[in-house]
Structure 1
Amino acid sequence: MMHHPTALAYLVSAYPAASHTFILREVLGLRARGWRVATVSVNADCRDPEKLDLLEQQEQLNTLVLKKWSRLTMLFDLWQVVWRFGLFAVFASLRLAWQLARPGLRGRALGLAYWLEAMLLACWMRRQSITHLHVHFGNEASMVGLLCKRISACSLSYTIHGPDEFHDAAGQQLAAKVAAADWIVCISQFARSQLMQFSAPEFWSKIQVVRLGINADYAPSQRTPTSVFTILCVGRLSPAKGQMVLLNAIDILRSEGQSFRVVLCGAGPSEAQLQQQLTQLNLGLQVELTGAMSKEAVCQLYGQADLFVLPSFAEGIPVVLMEAMASGLPCISTRIAGIPELIEHGVNGYLVAPGDAYALSDAIRSLANDAHLCDRFKQQARITLAKHFCLEKNLDLLAQCFAEHCGGHHA
């Protein structure tokens, strides 16, 4: 069978997703460079198509969802896998799924589910004449990818973000996933170092760094001056993002008589807890929770803010920080994971210890009262983004990786 030399399957646990717009940009960028990228999602995107922009609607419509596989055709397709790839490959992959499954009844059941999804994916890839599978994140989707390779002998690569994968490296079977991959992209040196920690040294050469990025022209259409110094935080409302620390820092500053407005943009499991904290601290008039917003609306928020704060406990290298820097906002974040590869403390932003509300309040106070320092951070931030986090340059690097490992051309 003739295979398209530039055909790729992109597998993600949930695609498209509001928090993964960088994957959408990546897919579109690779297509613009001549690659045929077919997208596969383990779970369905449950967002209302009418609330999505045109590009997201198209991706939602054209993405294969493994959990929505037609029950009428599933048995036939599973038989096709046995027929095309042989009983040995099928049973070897089933044995591998059992070996790598988490202990316990639920773990074994999930392992069988991943194996079944891998069988369906292998069948679909053969129909599409695709022989390379790329998986974002080292989570359950990457286990499906590993099993798919064992069934079909396709080539396999991952993009590893961290830090979630590293919190349970044994449970996620990172060592086995690294061994099975033909090559691996990490979005930061930090992620690469952690993957090296959990894998055998003979596999380190297959792990390389290709960063995410932001468009050079990303910026609000116009900046809207505000009467009160406005602090913006964009991210999922979850314990890992540290929004509670920001509220405590604002409470400290308010006790000193300083006036601030805070906008928390996002939705998530911590919303009720944050609302309760606002009530306890009596910050309801100073803090606004916007809920989830579209990309365009978030861009407008960047234009209405004076400072961006992301007080996270766990991150990769957040694209929202890149967006804020590109939007001309001075930024404060935490000295964790890959963030110091983006923000150099005292040069293009401030970094504080995670969980330290007093250090965060000091950093906010410093920037709120020093326009010259804010301007210097903004200028240096643009230099950093252009040098290391330019989306087009990094997409060129990623496309080159695919060209070197998968054949085809690099536009």
Structure 2
Amino acid sequence: MNKKTICITTLEYPPDIGGVGESVHRIAQMLVSSGYEVHVAVFRSKQRLVDDGSVRRASCKTRFQDGVFVHRIKSAVRDDLQEIQDFFSDIYFQLNFLHHQYNFDLFHAFFLNETGYVTTLLAKENDLPVINSVRGADLHKHIFNPKNHAQIAWVLENSDWVTFVSQDLRKRANAIAPSVKLKSSVFWNSIAPINFTKLRTPPLVSELSGIIIGSSGRFRDKKGIEFLLDACSELIKEIDLTLLLIGNFVEKERKYWQQELKQCCLGSRLRITGITTRQEALAYLPHLDIFAIPSLTDGCPNALLEAMLAGCAIVGTRVDAIGEILEDGVDGLLVNPGSSAELKTALLSLAIQPQLCKQLGAAAKIKAQQKLHPSIEKQNWIDIYQQVLTTSATATLPEVSLV
């Protein structure tokens, strides 16, 4: 049997920072270990502009990285205002060139409205199967841009298969493109085992006091951090606590978050690590009394899975995979998104019941080890790939009579 050649398209890939990149890397390794030849094409529209007024040709730089062919594509910059259609045209040309060079058997795009569109168009023109994977922001945020709606709907309708990391995301996709319900599946991200005892104690731990409440990630609009700030500002009137934010706020929202931080009443009891390595971020988790993930929308966040594996007592919101993975009162506490009052109540409940913290944390760790193990996600992907490739191979075009 000939080795099948897969082309995955994505907005980011390690060493780029981001959850989508981490997921694509994990999935690419699963496919390589299952006998596929895997190519990852990385591109995003944010890279189409330059700050220094320089110009450049379109390019594609290829590197063999951890058994995967990684192609980093850049569009040309010919003037100060690089139009989005010029970007997509350049990307399509480079991606098509890669296809003629490597003869891909299947395309797989992560994110609908950039990678998904150009990838699906190329696949359909070459009569090749295409899988699109919805990660969260594409249907929770970008769908509300009227310019994106028709494009996203077209991608969903023309996919051979669509995957989702939460039932909420599939429900929205079904509303946009009803055919999705017949060619889609939902399953969570996975997380590989981590030995937290071998991680070096991070620098801020010795400076934290009271009940340590933590959250981690790239903090932005969807993360609901303002409601956590409000909850802790009220909670500190009743208990001694420190709120530790492991990560930092995204640059484009910095002015907003500076205002939020200025208005909260935590003072020195709020600590922000800034951008850290993943190893350092993980090392903080065993030192937390409570892990809070107050997201308004969030797909299937890696931060949740890492906290579960660390055995943290977790307070999360009833959104996306957070509300699907955690069972309220069994392996975490769930609150409604956007409610500072509910967050405060849940955090206080855990703060005054250390035994409950231990109980919920232990149950969360067991669930992560058993139901979020990479072997489960790997089998889900292999099943989908085999099904899509088999269906494509057996499909026959109708005969056309020439008159």
TM-score where L is the length of structure 2:
0.80
> How many angstroms apart in 1 are the aligned matches of 2:140 and 2:257?
27
1:246 to 228, 241, 246: 228
> How many angstroms apart in 2 are the aligned matches of 1:22 and 1:382?
20
SS state at 1:329 partner:
coil
Instruction: Select between 113-122 and 343-352 the one with higher mean Cα deviation.
Output: 113-122
> How many angstroms apart in 1 are the aligned matches of 2:131 and 2:39?
15
Query: Residue deviations 1:129-184, cap 9 Å, x none?
Result: 21211011222110111221233332211111224324416624332112211112
> How many angstroms apart in 2 are the aligned matches of 1:330 and 1:246?
16
Q: Does residue 150 of structure 1 match 2:107? A: no
Name the CA shift for 1:67/1:210 in 2 (closer, same or farther; >3 Å): same
Maintained 8 Å contact 1:122/1:151? no
> How many angstroms apart in 2 are the aligned matches of 1:150 and 1:62?
23
1:351 maps to 334
2:280 to 278, 292, 297: 297
**Once superposed, what is the RMSD of the aligned Cα atoms?**
3.1
Q: Does residue 191 of structure 1 match 2:169? A: yes
Maintained 8 Å contact 2:209/2:242? no
**Code of the aligned partner of 1:67:** K
SS state at 1:179 partner:
helix
Q: Gaps spanning 5+ residues in structure 2: where? A: 48-62, 392-403
> How many angstroms apart in 1 are the aligned matches of 2:110 and 2:172?
16
1:385 maps to 368
**Code of the aligned partner of 1:42:** F
2:73 maps to 66
TM-score where L is the length of structure 1:
0.79
Maintained 8 Å contact 1:349/1:377? yes
Aligned pairs for 1:369-384 (under 5 A) are: 369-384=352-367
Name the CA shift for 1:276/1:163 in 2 (closer, same or farther; >3 Å): closer
Identity among equivalent positions (%) equals 23
Maintained 8 Å contact 2:196/2:283? no
SS state at 1:158 partner:
strand
1:30 maps to 31
Maintained 8 Å contact 2:38/2:68? no
Name the CA shift for 1:59/1:210 in 2 (closer, same or farther; >3 Å): same
1:11 maps to 9
Query: Residue deviations 1:96-143, cap 9 Å, x none?
Result: xxxxxxxxxx99x52453243223212212201212110112221101
> How many angstroms apart in 2 are the aligned matches of 1:164 and 1:213?
20
Query: Residue deviations 1:163-215, cap 9 Å, x none?
Result: 432441662433211221111211222222221121134x4221112321111
Instruction: Select between 191-200 and 381-390 the one with higher mean Cα deviation.
Output: 381-390
Maintained 8 Å contact 1:161/1:186? yes
**Code of the aligned partner of 1:266:** G
Q: Does residue 120 of structure 1 match 2:94? A: yes
2:135 to 157, 161, 166: 161
**Code of the aligned partner of 2:27:** E
> How many angstroms apart in 2 are the aligned matches of 1:297 and 1:140?
32
Maintained 8 Å contact 2:37/2:68? no
1:315 maps to 298
How many pairs were matched up? Answer: 360
Maintained 8 Å contact 2:140/2:297? no
Q: Gaps spanning 5+ residues in structure 1: where? A: 47-55, 72-105
SS state at 1:9 partner:
strand
1:207 maps to 184
> How many angstroms apart in 1 are the aligned matches of 2:184 and 2:246?
34
1:259 to 221, 240, 245: 240
> How many angstroms apart in 2 are the aligned matches of 1:32 and 1:346?
38
Name the CA shift for 1:118/1:57 in 2 (closer, same or farther; >3 Å): closer
SS state at 1:8 partner:
strand
Q: Shift of the alpha carbon at 1:233?
A: 0.7
1:140 to 114, 128, 138: 114
1:83 maps to none
Query: Higher relative contact order by CA 8 Å / sep ≥ 6: 1 or 2?
Result: 1
